Amino acid sequence: MRIIIYGAGAIGGYLGALLSAAGADVTLVGRGKHREVMATQGLKLDDKANPRPDRIKLNAVLPGEEKPPYDVVFVTLKAHQHEPNAERIAALRAKDGCCVFLQNGLPWWYFDRIDSPYAGKALKTLDPEGKLARILPSEHILGGVIFKPIDLYEPGALRFVESPSDRIVIGEVDNRPSARAAAIAQVVTPAGWKTEVSTDIRTAIWTKLVGNAVWNPLCALTQSAANDIASFPPSRDLAIAMMQEAAAVAKAAGAKINVDAEKAVSDVSTRKSPISSTLADVRGGRQLELAALSWSIIEMGEITGVPTPNLRNVAACAGMLDRYIVNSGSAIRPEAIR
């Protein structure tokens, strides 16, 4: 099995390192200093519980240096990076291969190939011109969800804590079991990252998204950790209302989830939270992943008839923050003054 990981940041780098250390034929595609360090020095995995003294050697290349075809194309880009890279991603896949999109938020293919009152509906916030649907047909795609926070704290170095809940969930767009999904799990799980094959990938996506839809924009706007937001009564109430709206949209769209928003937010208040990826993007001066995490949920609420006033108001503020970062080329970082 020839594997390529397109978008080798924190998640892609970690996956590539595990597969490479296990002897898999894997190539990573990235840019910048992080890719350069991985290619020349290898990748450091900083897990205090199970330290790895040596860097893991990787075949990390620039876009255009790949050698297709590949049997499995793992796509670990941010959702807003899919459209500009769609043609290259499609060109990497072998004729009988597949693309596994490991992403946060809703995918553009959500209403493809399912029995639903909304079957065939396009999510314009994610694929406004239908380019992704044309170039990357859903029969060649597996959806995926990552349950593991990883911090890229310096180029070529990742920090994380192992947890029993760490896993990847993958599944076919039509929810059917498949030999290719099973084969991928049989490669990734022994390499060190438990991989489950789901026959309801949309519910798996929502299981993570009902939290991300709340914490990612709120953390970005307030420069705060999720546990601090959940502990401050006014923002706690807002978080609960946002989660209730997200869960209502999920159920209306057919996801089989049970969410007690008050308990979920209360649980977050009791444990120290890692920095959210969206807050990390604010501090790094990068475009925010709002289409998949916020705007697409609001659009799906419009499609299904579910009001989302709190999600919409927070998305409007986060959207203005994103506009400022993109237009000004600025990063926003806290600076101690006392």
User: Largest Cα–Cα distance in the chain?
Assistant: 60
pLDDT in tens, 118-135: 999 999 999 999 999 999
Q: How far apart are CA 7 and CA 30, in angstroms?
A: 5
pLDDT at 229 over 90: yes
Q: How confident is residue 24, by pLDDT bands cut at 50, 70 and 90?
A: very high
* Residue 49: per-residue pLDDT: 74
* Residue 260: per-residue pLDDT: 98
Residue 44: beta bridge partners? 157
pLDDT in tens, 134-153: 999 999 999 999 999 999 99
pLDDT in tens, 307-324: 999 999 999 999 999 999
Q: What is the mean pLDDT of residues 159-165?
A: 90
Q: What is the mean pLDDT of residues 49-69?
A: 91
Q: What is the mean pLDDT of residues 190-216?
A: 97
* Residue 274: per-residue pLDDT: 85
Q: How far apart are CA 172 and CA 180, in angstroms?
A: 9
Name the DSSP class of 169.
E
Higher per-residue confidence, 194 vs 275: 194
Q: How far apart are CA 189 and CA 177, in angstroms?
A: 17
Q: Report the length, in residues, of the chain.
A: 338
Q: How confident is residue 50, by pLDDT bands cut at 50, 70 and 90?
A: confident
Q: Per-residue DSSP letters for 47-114?
A: -SSS---SPBP--EE-TT-----EEEEEE-S-GGGHHHHHHHHHHHEEEEEEEEEE-SS--TTTTTTS
* Residue 89: per-residue pLDDT: 98
Exactly one of 57, 131, 194, 208 is catalytic; which is it?
Answer: 208
Mean pLDDT across the chain: 96
Q: How confident is residue 162, by pLDDT bands cut at 50, 70 and 90?
A: confident
Q: Is 127 helix (H, G, I), strand (E, B) or coil?
A: coil
Q: What is the mean pLDDT of residues 67-79?
A: 97
pLDDT at 105 over 90: yes
Q: What is the mean pLDDT of residues 216-221?
A: 98
Q: Is 208 an annotated catalytic residue?
A: yes
Neighbours of 138 (CB within 10 A): 21
Peptide bond into 177 cis (omega under 30): no
Q: How confident is residue 98, by pLDDT bands cut at 50, 70 and 90?
A: very high
Q: How confident is residue 265, by pLDDT bands cut at 50, 70 and 90?
A: very high
Q: What is the mean pLDDT of residues 10-20?
A: 96
* Residue 318: per-residue pLDDT: 98
Whole-prediction pTM: 0.95
Domains of the chain by range and CATH? 2-199 (3.40.50.720), 204-328 (1.10.1040.10)
For CA atoms 64, 123, 218, 164, the dihedral sign is negative
